Structure 1
Amino acid sequence: MSKQERWSKLLELLAVEGKLDVEEAADELAVSPATIRRDLDELAGQQLLVRTRGGAVAQGVSYELPLRYKSARRASEKQRIAQAVADLLGVGDVIGLNGGTTTTEVARALVLRTGGPGAERRQSASGPQYTVVTNALNIAGELAVRPQFKIVVTGGVARPQTFELVGPLTEGVLQQVVLDVAVLGVDGVDPDFGVMTHHEDEASVSRLFAERARKVILATDSTKMGKRAFARICGLDRVDAIVTDSGIAPDVASSLADSGIEVITV
């Protein structure tokens, strides 16, 4: 196994478990503990994990993990959330999707909704069933080959960690469109500070998605609820619905509902 293969496997394990033990990782990869220690030291040097005595953790730097590694975390919850979000979207809607693991699952859930026998024939006769505006290259790539979707991709500078396009070019496109629904993946939802993400350039793009939409839906797992992140997207008064998993604390759900937000748990 090459170094790059080991690194990929270690980051996949870290994304699933949240922590790594040197001895267990050595057994899993069939290499020596000394090799694992060197690998973890190098990955820590690239800020992809935090070294601990005897291993490593993702805590504190999970947002730095590339999208392909983060997608393994809470995968079943994200798929259920995505299906519930898709059920809220109507045929003919113009839908804004920012980047992230949960919004990627929403795109896939929409594909399943438009599939089935005769789907392509129905589309060719009636036109696309959905228009999706996105700044996420991976979402655009998955949907662009589907005739059921009209895809509008913003311009911008690509962030390699998340595949999201950001910057003035991205914002320029979003200022020229009107959305029925914006579905946003976020990194924090706080009752005082509102909706947040880790990077200010992504926050400004998500803010525009929210401003250009008639309805805003947050698609996020319960670990983000009650948490804060660096950059504010918008206040809770701009949010119409939050779709999350059943792990949300009852008092948090009650507080959000009292604010007039529809809270849907799956």
Structure 2
Amino acid sequence: MSKRDRWSALLELLAAEGRLDVEEAASALDVSSATIRRDLDELAEQQMLVRTRGGAVAHGVSYELPLRYKTSRRAPEKQRIAAAAADLIGDGEVVGLNGGTTTTEVARVLALRVGGSRRDGADAGAPVPSAPALTVVTNALNIAAELAVRPQVKIVSTGGVARPQSYELVGPLTGGVLKEVVLDAAVLGVDGVDPHLGIMAHHEDEAGVSRLFTERANRVIVVTDSSKLGKRAFARICDLARVDTLVTDVNISPETAARLTDAGVKVIAV
């Protein structure tokens, strides 16, 4: 197992349990205790955990796994969720996307869809029509970078200060752009969905930007795997009353689906 894979596995264990024991982690990853100690020391130097005697603990009460270590988590589920969410977006619409692994997958599906629709029936070498097949407004640097090379997609990137954990732009400059646009739909990745508190994010600045997305959108689509359902995060985005549709995986419990439906949210499980 490479160091990157070990770090990813350790951070996932820490995100799930809130603490790590060296011996238990060594057994789980089938490596030596000395290797785990070195890994934890290096992760602590990067301020990704707090080192303790015999292990490590997460920072604070709500732990945020950096995006670069989340890309492989529940990948098949996220890809199915993304495909289902993209089906809810019509041609020519203006869609807002916040940052995250699932919204990144949504962006990729949308880009492939509009790219294919523009080629269908077109003559070889025909010019690309001037009107974009889709307009995407995003505060995520990685999404903007992927879509910027797609001529069928008009990409609008907000300003702001970049957060290295999520590649998202946040702050007053971000809000300044979002307050000047109108969206047909906002597709939001979240860190928690609570039937009473609504949808949430780990970081207050990201929650504030996502809240602006909901205020500027005609409809709000939340995309999240079922592990986030029933969980709370530090910063609240909005009530469930503002959410039109939640797209998740088939592991959602019937009780959770019923509570969301009772709150007026259409639940799509794929």
* Same fold? TM cut 0.5: yes
Partner of 1:185: 189
TM-score by length of 2: 0.85
Contact 1:96/1:183 (8 A) holds in 2? yes
Runs of 5+ consecutive residues of structure 1 not aligned to the other structure: none
Partner of 2:268: 264
Counterpart mapping for 1:52-91 below 5 A: 63-91=63-91
CA distance, structure 1, for counterparts of residue 63 and residue 176 of structure 2: 26
Name whichever of 39-48 and 235-244 sits farther off. Answer: 39-48
Aligned residues: 258
Counterpart mapping for 1:141-160 below 5 A: 141-160=145-164
Counterpart mapping for 1:93-112 below 5 A: 93-112=93-112
TM-superposition CA deviations, 1:162-184 (whole Å, max 9, x none): 00000000000000000000000
Partner of 1:217: 221
Runs of 5+ consecutive residues of structure 2 not aligned to the other structure: none
Distance 1:255 1:35, change over 3 A: closer
TM-score by length of 1: 0.86
Identity %: 67
Distance 1:21 1:216, change over 3 A: same
Confirm whether residue 9 of structure 1 aligns to residue 5 of structure 2: yes
Partner of 1:39: 39
Contact 1:47/1:61 (8 A) holds in 2? no
Name whichever of 70-79 and 131-140 sits farther off. Answer: 70-79
Partner of 1:240: 244
The alpha-carbon deviation at position 191 of structure 1 amounts to: 1.1
The alpha-carbon deviation at position 124 of structure 1 amounts to: 1.3
Contact 1:12/1:72 (8 A) holds in 2? no
Partner of 2:135: 131
Partner of 2:200: 196
CA distance, structure 1, for counterparts of residue 232 and residue 177 of structure 2: 29
CA RMSD of aligned residues (A): 2.8
Contact 1:66/1:162 (8 A) holds in 2? yes
Contact 1:175/1:212 (8 A) holds in 2? yes
Confirm whether residue 208 of structure 1 aligns to residue 212 of structure 2: yes
Matched AA of 2:188:
L
Contact 2:138/2:156 (8 A) holds in 1? yes
Question: Secondary structure in 2 aligned to 1:218?
Answer: strand
The alpha-carbon deviation at position 113 of structure 1 amounts to: 1.3
The alpha-carbon deviation at position 37 of structure 1 amounts to: 1.4
Matched AA of 2:195:
P
TM-superposition CA deviations, 1:151-200 (whole Å, max 9, x none): 00000000011000000000000000000000000011111111111111
Name whichever of 174-183 and 38-47 sits farther off. Answer: 38-47
Distance 1:64 1:47, change over 3 A: farther
Question: Secondary structure in 1 aligned to 2:105?
Answer: helix
The alpha-carbon deviation at position 236 of structure 1 amounts to: 0.7
